């Protein structure tokens, strides 16, 4: 039963994911993916609960979470901007995009804006190299052949969407 106090996290989804996976060999990473997708981050409390549920040492859960780029222990902004810095995008000027985003958002790569709206990340190749340089937002909005000039417009678009 979820607690009624309003401060506690509702673990029912986590428990269900763990329940479905228990006993399957090497399932930890898949569980971490599903849990992070639902809760936004793998906080220490969440890791503890996964460790108990799957009967895997907490050290192994923590070790795995911190090893892979994909997992995060702090929640991300509403819009996660990923700039591809794979080779194709690098050759076509991805570094300039990074500098510009850093400049325009006032945050470094890996950080989130104070209003919780944007997180800035770099990724190594999203597989759309022929349309480099590529920027994705929340993995669904994909911008191709981005030039630094377009960045203002992209950010403004999401800000406006929020304002509405």
Partner 1 sequence: MSLYRMHILVCAGAGCITSGCKEVSEALKKALKENNLQNEIMVLETGCMGACELGPIAVIYPEGVFYKKLKPENMAEIVEEHVVKGRVVEKYLYKTPDEKIIKKINEIEFFKRQKKIVLRNCGFIDPTKIEEYIARDGYEACAKAFEMSKSEVIDIIKKSGLRGRGGGGFPAGVKWDFTSKSEGDQKYIVCNADEGDPGAFMDRSVLEGDPHLIIEGMMIAGYAVGANQGYVYCRAEYPLAIERLNLAIKQAEKYGLLGKNILGTDFSFNMDVRIGAGAFVCGEETALIESIEGKRGEPRPRPPYPAVKGLFNKPTVINNVETWANITYIIQHGWEHFRTIGTEKNPGTKVFALAGDITNAGLVEVPMGTSLREIVFDIGGGVLGGKKFKAAQTGGPSGGCIPAEHLDIKVDFDTLKTLGTMMGSGGLIVMSEDTCMVDLAKFFMQFCVDESCGKCVPCRIGTKRMYEILEKITSGRAEMEDLNRLRILASNIKEAALCGLGQTAPNPVLSTLRYFEDEYIEHIEKKKCKTKVCKALIKYEITEKCVGCGVCKRACPVNVISGERKEMHIIDQTACIKCGMCYDKCPFDAITVE
Rule CB under 8 A: which residues touch partner 1? 25-30, 32-33, 56, 60, 63-64, 67-71, 85-92, 96, 99-100, 103, 123-132, 134, 139, 142, 144, 148-149
Binding-site member from 46, 132, 135, 146 for ligand FES (CB under 6 A): 132
DSSP annotation of 129: G
Q: Which among ligand FES, partner 1, none contacts residue 137 (Cβ within 5 to 8 A by kind)?
A: none
Looking at the Cβ atoms of 48 and 124, the one nearer to ligand FES is: 124
How many Å apart are CA 69 and CA 82, to the nearest integer? 13
Question: Nearest-5° angle of CA 32, CA 49, CA 6?
Answer: 105
Question: Radius of gyration (Cα) for the chain, nearest Å?
Answer: 18
66-95: contacts with ligand FES (CB under 6 A) = 84, 86-89
Q: Which among partner 1, ligand FES, none contacts residue 17 (Cβ within 5 to 8 A by kind)?
A: none
Asked whether position 97 contacts ligand FES by CB under 6 A, the answer is: no
Looking at the Cβ atoms of 29 and 109, the one nearer to ligand FES is: 109
The DSSP H or E segment spanning 120 is: strand 118-123
Give all strands of the β-sheet with 135-137 in edge-to-edge order.
118-123, 79-84, 135-137, 141-143
Close Cβ partners of 108 (under 8 Å, ≥ 6 residues apart): 102, 120
Residues near ligand FES, by CB under 6 A: 84, 86-89, 125-129, 132, 134
């Amino acid at each position: 039963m979820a607690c009624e106090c309003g401060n506690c996290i509702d673990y029912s989804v986590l428990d269900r994911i763990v329940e479905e996976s228990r006993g399957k060999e090497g399932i930890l990473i898949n569980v971490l993916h599903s849990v992070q997708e639902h809760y936004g981050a793998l906080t220490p409390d969440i890791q503890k609960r996964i460790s108990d549920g799957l009967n895997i040492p907490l050290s192994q859960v923590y070790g795995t979470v911190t090893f892979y780029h994909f997992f995060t222990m702090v929640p991300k902004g509403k819009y996660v901007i990923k700039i591809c810095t794979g080779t194709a995008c690098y050759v076509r000027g991805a570094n300039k995009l990074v500098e510009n985003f850093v400049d325009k958002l006032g945050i470094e790569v890996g950080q989130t804006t104070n209003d919780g709206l944007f997180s800035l990340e770099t990724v190594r190749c999203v597989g759309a190299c022929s349309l480099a340089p590529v920027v994705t937002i929340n993995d669904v909005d994909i911008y191709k052949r981005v030039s630094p000039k377009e960045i203002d417009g992209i950010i403004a678009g999401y800000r406006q969407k929020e304002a509405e």
